[in-house]
């Protein structure tokens, strides 16, 4: 206790008289953060680190700006321009936060300890393993690439998840061109080496295919004029379309543009095997087909890290695919553990699970029926606690709950309708169909990191004043509003200085103007002025001199 209160004293107002007796402060609670990606870093940047004893553990001692990873594969942006050393981020917070470059391999929620292993040398005593205690644990370890256990993928495909992956891809593209240029190859062999396959038609796969196409047509074709006509890019997607998470107009535009660009978009094909030389895919109509390839990038969604799977087994989540939290980002049945970003998913509470409780709270006069006014009085709480209600009303183009009540009664005119419990249940019975899972994006992870930091900053206040704004119980009173995601829109860069943007309110914009929006948004979102400068100067360099193709 003495050691940690020492830390607090050091933080006390520097102008104060040092001789004044400091009151005995309770030791600060230990917060341990796993991961330095979008979730973890945003949490740390927003946390008031004077309130806690903070330790950060991650096998990477830097933050990576993942939206620009596809640009690194083509050399449009340099790797060092998109990474920020985590110690620099922490230094800006006053140097109070400790960082250990290590990987957590086990969480022990009973004793509130985590097991870690240093990855900077196994020459360390006991293989570099150590234990860390926590009071609060923030799990922000992201996800791994999902291969769906497809044979040969790990051995033969590139992933695009980390900065090193992007660098390897870039080198591999250049190797393919050099190999295809060698004098003793025949035409078939040259074609094979210049066949680039992208598996997965989601945002990352599509952006990578587009940036590879730009790199080839704008830069490499000048350097390898004799073989450039042999280059082929294939994009393989198991579903019927690419970019299915976007508006139909964007999907269509992307498919058409890729068609014009000569990118072979193969939808409805599932890759079932990858060998050193061939990639085998399946389609109900054609059966198995195998095609030779030079380089393949696997980008088909994400999976849970093995140590998180183990943790889920320990806490009774063995039958789930992703670690579940409640709307306050707390891991259920696990005191003091929070999870954010790609490693977690929010289990939104259903209206129908709480319907009797909601009815009871709303029925102020205990009449056994609800009037529209009674419902309206608790509507704000309902909207906060169950955002699906608002989404449902919107989807039915209803203005408010009064419309819903009247439609349940089948009486559009009368003002004085009242509902009994059965009718109330019926009115809301379809609302839960609007529960949405949040996407695995940087936008979600960083908003969660920010939200959680704010909760941590106010935790002490809240303990002293536990009555929160949320009055519908469900599972006890809450001191904070639940996490609410604000979707700010999404980009799909399609190459040739064209980007599709889907902004809130279903506002769609495709073309060169949204490319400029893209540049400005990603310049703004940089986490330091240093990386912002570097990224902008990389873009400028590319405009003037083209991409660098040495490797």
Pick out residues in 368-397 that bind ligand FAD (CB under 6 A): none
Does the protein bind ligand FAD through residue 205 (CB under 6 A)?
A: no
CA torsion sign for 246, 249, 253, 259 is positive
Structure tokens at 210: 């587009």
d(CA 502, CA 5): 50
DSSP-assigned letter for residue 68: G
Which one of 13, 21, 187, 365 is in contact with Mg ion (CB under 5 A)?
A: 365
* Residue 367's binding partner out of ligand FAD, Mg ion, none, with CB under 5 to 8 Å set by partner kind: Mg ion
**Span of 39-47, 123-131, 212-220, 518-526 interacting with Mg ion by CB under 5 A:** 39-47
Which listed option, ligand FAD, Mg ion, none, makes contact with residue 219 (CB within 5 to 8 Å by class)? none
Neighbouring CB atoms inside 10 A of 447's CB total 23
35/294 with CB nearer Mg ion: 35
Fill in the DSSP letter of residue 217.
I
Q: Is 39 in the site for Mg ion (CB under 5 A)?
A: yes
Alpha carbon 477 to chain centroid, angstroms: 29
Which parts of 262-321 interact with ligand FAD (CB under 6 A)?
A: 305, 307
Binders of Mg ion in range 54-93 (CB under 5 A): 66
Does 36 engage in binding with ligand FAD (CB under 6 A)? yes
Q: Does 201 bind ligand FAD (CB under 6 A)?
A: no
Which positions from 485 through 544 interact with ligand FAD, judged by CB under 6 A?
Answer: none
Which positions ≥6 away from 130 have C-beta within 8 Å? 100, 102, 115, 116, 117, 118
Q: Binding residues for ligand FAD, how many (CB under 6 A)?
A: 33
Q: Please tell me whether residue 201 adopts helix, strand or coil conformation.
A: coil
Q: Which of 31, 83, 140, 281 binds ligand FAD (CB under 6 A)?
A: 140
Could you tell me which of 164, 433, 203 has the C-alpha nearest to residue 302?
Answer: 203
Instruction: Give the sheet arrangement for strand 287-292, strand by strand.
Output: 270-274, 278-283, 287-292
Binding of residue 482 to Mg ion (CB under 5 A) = no
Q: Binding residue for Mg ion (CB under 5 A) from 30, 31, 33, 40?
A: 40
Q: How many helices (H) and strands (E) does the chain have?
A: 20, 26
Give just the sign of the alpha carbon dihedral 119, 124, 128, 133: negative
Q: Which does 34 bind (CB under 5 to 8 A by kind): ligand FAD, Mg ion, none?
A: ligand FAD
In the sheet with 30-34, reading across from the earlier edge strand, the strands are 129-133, 113-118, 98-108, 53-58, 30-34, 136-139, 337-339
Query: Using the rule CB under 5 A, is 35 a contact of Mg ion?
Result: yes
Closer CB to ligand FAD, residue 137 or residue 180?
Answer: 137
Positions in the binding site for ligand FAD (CB under 6 A): 34-40, 57-60, 66-67, 69-70, 103-104, 140-142, 160-161, 204, 305, 307, 341-343, 440-443, 445
Positions in the binding site for Mg ion (CB under 5 A): 35, 37-40, 66, 140, 363, 365, 367
């Amino acid at each position: 206790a003495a050691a940690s209160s020492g830390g607090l004293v050091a933080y006390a107002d520097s102008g104060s008289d040092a001789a004044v007796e400091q009151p005995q402060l309770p030791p600060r609670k230990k917060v341990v953060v796993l991961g330095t990606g979008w979730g973890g870093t945003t949490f740390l940047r927003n946390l008031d680190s004077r309130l806690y004893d903070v330790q950060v553990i991650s096998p990477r001692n830097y933050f990576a700006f993942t939206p620009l990873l596809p640009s690194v594969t083509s050399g449009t942006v340099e790797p060092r321009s998109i990474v920020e050393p985590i110690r620099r981020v922490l230094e800006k917070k006053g140097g109070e936060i400790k960082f250990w470059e290590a990987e957590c391999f086990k969480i022990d929620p009973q004793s509130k300890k985590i097991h870690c292993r240093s990855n900077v040398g196994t020459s360390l005593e006991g293989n570099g393993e150590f234990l860390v205690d926590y009071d609060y644990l923030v799990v922000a370890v992201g996800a791994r690439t999902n291969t769906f256990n497809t044979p040969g993928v790990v051995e033969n495909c590139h992933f695009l998840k980390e900065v090193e992956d992007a660098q390897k891809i870039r080198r591999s593209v250049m190797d393919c061109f050099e190999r295809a240029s060698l004098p003793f190859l025949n035409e078939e062999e040259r074609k094979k080496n210049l066949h680039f396959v992208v598996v997965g038609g989601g945002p990352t796969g599509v952006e990578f295919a587009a940036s590879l196409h730009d790199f080839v047509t704008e830069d490499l074709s000048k350097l390898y004029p004799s073989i450039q006509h042999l280059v082929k890019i294939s994009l393989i997607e198991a579903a019927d379309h690419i970019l299915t998470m976007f508006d139909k107009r964007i999907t269509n535009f992307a498919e058409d543009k890729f068609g014009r660009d000569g990118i072979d978009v193969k939808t409805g094909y599932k890759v079932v095997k990858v060998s050193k030389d061939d990639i085998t895919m399946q389609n109900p109509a054609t059966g198995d087909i195998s095609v030779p390839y030079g380089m393949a990038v696997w980008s088909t969604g994400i999976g849970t890290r093995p140590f998180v799977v183990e943790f889920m087994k320990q806490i009774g989540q063995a039958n789930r695919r992703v670690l579940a939290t409640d709307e306050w980002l707390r891991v259920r049945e696990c005191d003091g553990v929070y999870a954010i970003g790609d490693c977690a998913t929010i289990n939104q509470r259903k209206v129908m699970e709480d319907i009797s409780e909601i009815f009871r709270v709303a029925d102020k006069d205990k009449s056994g029926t609800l009037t529209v006014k009674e419902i309206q009085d608790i509507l704000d709480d309902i909207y906060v606690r169950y955002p699906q209600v608002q989404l449902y009303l919107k989807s039915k183009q209803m203005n408010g709950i009064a419309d819903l009540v009247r439609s349940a009664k089948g009486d559009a005119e009368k003002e004085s309708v009242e509902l009994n419990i059965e009718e109330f249940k019926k009115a809301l019975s379809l609302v839960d169909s609007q529960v949405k899972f949040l996407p695995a994006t940087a936008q979600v992870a960083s908003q969660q990191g920010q939200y959680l930091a704010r909760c941590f900053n106010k935790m002490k206040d809240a303990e002293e004043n536990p009555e929160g704004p949320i009055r519908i119980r469900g599972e006890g009173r809450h001191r904070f509003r639940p996490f609410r995601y604000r979707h700010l829109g999404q980009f799909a860069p399609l190459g040739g200085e064209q980007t599709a943007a889907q902004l809130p309110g279903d506002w769609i914009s495709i073309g060169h103007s949204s490319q400029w929006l893209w540049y400005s948004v990603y310049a703004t979102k940089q986490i330091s002025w240093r990386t912002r400068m570097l990224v902008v100067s990389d873009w400028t360099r590319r405009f003037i001199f083209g991409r660098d193709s040495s490797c």
